[in-house]
Structures are given as structure tokens and as C-alpha cells.
Amino acid sequence: MVNSVDTNQRSRLPVLYLSHGAPTLADDARWTDELARWSADLGRPRGILIVSAHWEAAPLTISATSTVPLVYDFWGFPQRYYQVTYPSPGAPWLAERVTHLLSASGEAVHQAPQRGLDHGAYIPLVEMYPEADIPVLQLSMPTLDPEALLLMGRRLAPLRDEGVLIVGSGFFTHNLHALREAPEADSRPPAWSAEFDQWGEEALKSQDVDALLDFEHKSPAGKLAHPRTEHFAPLFVTLGAGELDLDTGKTVIDGFWHGLAKRSIQIG
């Protein structure tokens, strides 16, 4: 376990996949406490690179490298959710390093200098690093193809030895019909969500990356758990970046919220 990281250390950091939830999940005291305790164990990284389910853009694109307004990419919530701020420092040095690692293989890397962090990035970071004093860079998903995202993670893996925390942010099951099937936050999850979550837990424990890559066919209720796969896709970046340490993988957060699986993992 990494206790502290600064710019003078080169300890290999773990990689994370976390279930970030809707803006209202930030009102769940249990979840926010779990995130705060998780980050306390991780220590302070030099920088954070995050891939969120809510930014698909091709060619591959990096977000602003200066402090710009957040992207409130949700609708119909009370005004207080649009007043959250997270003025983390920009990370031009990290953008340069990411560009180097990805373009070395011929990948085109674009920049979106006005694009701030979306809620898949800032909602968990508000709870994990509330001081907003760690440089953060967001990276788009140029595709939802699991193999391509796994390869992207592999190419980013050297950042772990440079004090950078790599985070995939999605939701382990994501079918918004669950919000009607499980109207209360602590409602019993629908069978399809529970079955997929159990399958995923077992696949992760057994390091069955091939099964996870083909989850739409290998898992029970895969099409129900992810009618569209963007919330599971960041997991493959995490698996690629953590490939050398898969035997250390563990679940840090589990359980359900409105029937959706909150499973969040750490590798390394």
C-alpha cells in the first residue's frame, strides 16, 4: 500500500476503477466516507489522470491544462448540484507526458483547452481530495472497444512509476431502469444487477481478463447490466494500466445504490 507520494518519489502507484454515481450519490454519507478513507490509504499523488464514462471523443483528446469551469453534464437536478466547484490545478506536464506515451505508437492526440472536468471526474475527487490541490488531467475515450482501451491503459502504465494516479470512472452496472426498480437508495437490487456484479467480482478475483473483455457475451445479464457500455469501458483502461499487478487486485467498495452495483477496485 502506498502511504505517500510526492514529486521526489517514484513508488509505483496503484490504479483504480471507481463507480462514481449520479450527482446525488454525493449525498450518501457511507459512499463519501468510503472514498475519503480510500484516498487516505492511497496518499497524495503527484497528479491524477482520469478517464470518465462521460467523455467519448475521437481522436483521443486531453482536457484543459489550466483551471477552467467544470462541465455540469446532467439535467433536472436541484441548483445546488450546479454550484459545486473543484478548481484543481492544470497539469500541462502530464498532458505532455500522456501525449508522448500515446503518440509514440502512432495515436493522434488532440487537445480541448476549454474542456473542464465532468461529473464522472470531479464528483469522486471532491470526496477523495477535497482540497483540489492536486493537478488533474482528463482523457477522453476514443472508442468503447475493450481491446483498444486495454491497450491504451498499457501505454499509460509508465505513469504509475512517475507519481500519477490513473483512475477509470464509470459504474459497475448501469441501466437507469434500475432507478425505477429500486426506488430507494438501499433497495434490493434487481436480479440482473446482482448477478452481473457477482460474475464481475469472480472474474476480477480470478484475473479472467478475457472474460471481462467479452463481458457482453460471457456474463449473465450483460445486456441488461450495460445496455450501452460506456460505464464499464473505463475498467479496461484500469486493467491495462494495472496489468503487471493483477494478482493484487481487490474490491475497495461494494454494495448497491438504487439497484446499481457500486463495485470499485484497486490494482497494485
* 175-192: burial string, b at 16+ Cβ within 10 Å, e else: beebeebbeeeeeebbeb
pLDDT for the residue 220: 93
Percent of the chain with pLDDT over 70: 96
Res 23: pLDDT: 87
Average pLDDT of the chain is 93
Summarised one tens digit per residue, pLDDT across range 27-78 is 999 999 999 999 999 989 999 999 999 999 999 999 999 999 999 999 889 9
pLDDT > 90 in the chain, percent: 85
pLDDT at 3: 35
pLDDT, residue 9, reads: 44
Strand 15-19 versus strand 164-170 pairing type: parallel
Give the distance from CA 10 to its chain's centroid.
Answer: 22
Task: Report whether 253 contacts 17 (CB < 8 A).
Answer: no
Instruction: Give me the pLDDT at residue 1, please.
Output: 31
Superfamily of domain 15-267: LigB-like (3.40.830.10)
Mean pLDDT of 14-21: 94
Higher pLDDT, 19 or 183: 19
| Mean pLDDT on 75-98 | 95
Q: What number of other Cβ atoms are within 10 A of residue 24's Cβ?
A: 15
Sequence ranges of the domains in the chain: 15-267
Residues 151-196 pLDDT 10s: 999 999 999 999 999 999 999 999 987 777 777 888 899 999 999 9
Mean pLDDT of the 246-252 span: 97
Looking at residues 108-130, what average pLDDT do you find? 96
What pLDDT, on a 0 to 100 scale, did the predictor assign at position 24?
Answer: 87
Question: Which pLDDT value is given to residue 75?
Answer: 87
Euclidean distance between CA atoms 46 and 32, whole angstroms: 22
Question: Given this model, what pLDDT does residue 176 score?
Answer: 83
Cα of first residue to Cα of last residue in the chain, in angstroms, is 8
Per-residue confidence (pLDDT) for residue 118, from 0 to 100: 97
